[in-house]
Amino acid sequence: MKKARGDCPQKRTTKAVSFKYSNKKNPLKPTPANLKAGKELYQKKAKPMACKLCHGKYGDGRGPGGAGVSPAPRNFTCAATMKDISDGQIFGVIKEGSKGTAMPAFKNLKDREVWQLVHYIRDLGN
């Protein structure tokens, strides 16, 4: 496991996603191809913006677009923060955004792309 970067653990009180997402399990395997696709989305291809702009290149929540945002973007490198967040929660936040935060909805991403992102996000803390 990598050492966490940035604030760890993060205190968060954001709401859970709707029930339709909360119990979802990632149907994709964390293959090198899925991790690579997730990385490409995270680092540059996701629209309306690449995830790294707010969450940081390394997933530590310290991207330039997240500066001064409250609450701060999620730090994916912090195992203490991420251990209790389900794959379905991550999927739902990516698809629908997170109310009360600056996290926008990425409704244009296909489900497969979101699941690839979930694998990459998980890998950032490993």
Domain with residue 69: its CATH number is 1.10.760.10
**What's the average model confidence in pLDDT over 81-94?**
91
* pTM, entire model: 0.90
Structural domain harbouring 108: 19-124
| pLDDT given at position 27 | 97
Instruction: Examine residue 53 and state whether it is found in any structural domain, yes or no.
Output: yes
| pLDDT given at position 39 | 98
Instruction: Examine residue 69 and state whether it is found in any structural domain, yes or no.
Output: yes
Q: Is the pLDDT of residue 1 over 60?
A: no
Instruction: Examine residue 66 and state whether it is found in any structural domain, yes or no.
Output: yes
Instruction: Examine residue 11 and state whether it is found in any structural domain, yes or no.
Output: no
| pLDDT given at position 22 | 80
Provide φ and ψ at 25, rounded to 5°: -110, 145
Domains of the chain: total = 1
Instruction: Examine residue 108 and state whether it is found in any structural domain, yes or no.
Output: yes
Q: Which residues of 65-87 are buried (b: 16+ CB within 10 A; e: fewer)?
A: bbeeeebbbbbbbbeebbeebbb
ω before 48 within 30° of 0 (cis)?
yes
Q: Is the pLDDT of residue 9 over 80?
A: no
| Separation CA 122–CA 124 (nearest Å) | 5
| pLDDT given at position 3 | 63
Instruction: Examine residue 3 and state whether it is found in any structural domain, yes or no.
Output: no
The two structure tokens encoding residue 94: 């990516």
Q: What are 11-57's pLDDT values in tens digits?
A: 766 777 777 888 899 999 999 999 999 999 999 999 989 999 999 99
Q: Which residues contact 1 (CB under 8 A, 6 or more apart)?
A: 79, 125, 126
Instruction: Examine residue 24 and state whether it is found in any structural domain, yes or no.
Output: yes
